[in-house]
Amino acid sequence: MLSPTDAAPFPLPVTCSNSPFLPRTSMLSFYTTFPEGSYRENSPPHPDSFNDHEPRPHMNHPSISSARASDLGAFKTIFACGKKPRFGPAFDVEAKPHIDAGLRNLGTLAMGAGCFKGGTVGSRGLKLEKDSGGLDLFDEAAVGERNGGLMPEHLVIMVNGIVGSAEDWKYGAQQFVKKLPDRVIVHRSECNYLKLTFDGVDLMGERLAKEVLSVVDNRPGVKKISFLAHSLGGLVARYAIGRLYENIPTPESSSGTSAFPGQETKKGSAHTARIAGLEPMNFITVATPHLGSRGHKQLPILCGLPFLERTAPQAAHLIAGRSGKHLFLTDEDDVNGPLLLRMVYDSEDLKFMSALCAFKRRVAYANVNYDYAVGWATSSIRRQHELPKSTLFVGDKKYRHIVHVDRETSEDIEKRISTATARQTMDLEEEMIKGLTQVPWERVDVSFRRSHQRINAHNTILVQSNWLTDGAEVVSHMIENFLL
């Protein structure tokens, strides 16, 4: 093995054809040290721990300098362009292990070097590992203190929204591991990012399902699973759990219980619901357009103007591809109807509602105002006239921006079903509401009206970047009420 002094660093041309920040072809200095002849085309993976908007650790930092002698191919500079860089010349096929090792080492070192928000967490042993295309985060010190060094049993899957990436949940992941160090392991999904989020809810959901199964295979000690999903990611997660749902027979007999209101299971059988083989706990969505973006005021940037709301569905696919069609319910080429409508029912191979029902908690965080991408009604699964009046908003000293919490019970659902009109003409939105509200939801209404960061409420709510800090208390609310 060569030491860093045995090979002089030199710049290599990098082409980032899909970077949103750069021209299609850019010559960039990608300095690194590897054993001679260990370069090859397409070798470096996405540098998971950095992006263009974050500071890099200084290479003279003690945590970096001390590692250079022992770490394979320690990087002197890492450039993250949002897609995998491509080297111009063809290099040796043995490069990838060296490059992967270098990235993993620096990803962990950077946590301790303070280039991630919450540096005290890194000093306690926060560890970042690449897993199944995404990122696993857990407290290594807490794991070491457990009997036999067992990993936490609760797997938390975090899913980004449209044109997002695993970086969107970086702050949330750190806070979950910081406050629940020996209870959870967090996986930030990265199978759907940037332009891949235009592929449609179904394709994205299938990719997420495969990623989750791979993570579960790599973490045999996990027993429970929860999902936290932002924006479009909430719909993707709903699709994925429909694919991952399992109804495992159990020896006990049953007199015929309901899977969820209005759905009966066979008498004399008992089953245990599982998601990817794990016990489902929390399903949490944040500013997710559960009812799509087609209805009145469901896409607030259109200002509720009828002309714009009629025109938007015709152009949505030009901006957001198949995802745009799904959001505006214009995927009518499918004989079974729009995908979002189908996702409020169970089908033969996709158990969407049974999967939702399997979770012990379903929570919808919704922005009351200043969210120009997702309306209050669609993100909270309510009809317009059901939205709470401002007179019902209450102040909370601990959570200033959480103004209303509504916790439904099974009794509330049964009462609503029993009083509903037997025959009622329904449009698509009404049918989706009726389908999704067959199971109880907790609705948490958030308002950044008094925040200087209200203009970007859609991203502030999950602290998508270091300067959108007013959503930190919303993340804290998620953690405090998280069912373990």
Provide block-wise average pLDDT over 10 residues at a time, the chain (484 residues). Answer: 41 38 34 35 40 43 40 34 39 42 40 36 71 87 72 96 96 97 96 97 98 96 97 98 92 52 52 95 98 94 92 92 96 83 95 97 98 98 95 87 92 69 69 96 96 96 92 97 97
Cβ–Cβ < 8 Å for 364, 436: no
Number of neighbouring beta carbons within 10 Å of residue 125: 18
Query: Which pLDDT belongs to residue 336?
Result: 82
- Cα separations (Å) of 388 from 63, 213, 300, 395, 444? 52, 39, 18, 14, 11
Contacts of 387 (CB under 8 A, 6+ apart): 376, 377, 380
Identify the DSSP state of 133.
Answer: T
Q: Which of 393, 70, 48, 337 is nearest to 193 (CA)?
A: 48
- Matching residue, tokens 């938390």: 156
Backbone phi, psi, residue 342, to 5°? -65, -25
Query: Which pLDDT belongs to residue 248?
Result: 87
Cβ–Cβ < 8 Å for 464, 387: no
Q: Which of 325, 341, 342, 345 is nearest to 333 (CA)?
A: 325
Domain chopping of the chain, boundaries: 1-115, 131-480
Distance CA 215, CA 424 (A): 44
Q: Considering the domain 131-480 in this protein, what is its CATH number?
A: 3.40.50
Backbone phi, psi, residue 168, to 5°? -60, -30
Residues in the chain: 484
Cβ–Cβ < 8 Å for 121, 174: yes
Backbone phi, psi, residue 424, to 5°? -145, 130
Backbone phi, psi, residue 469, to 5°? -90, -10
Sign for the CA dihedral angle at 218, 223, 228, 232 comes to: positive
Indicate the residue type of 249. Answer: P
Sign for the CA dihedral angle at 202, 206, 208, 209 comes to: positive
Query: Which pLDDT belongs to residue 396?
Result: 81
Indicate the residue type of 413. Answer: I
Radius of gyration of the chain (CA): 24
pTM for the full model? 0.74
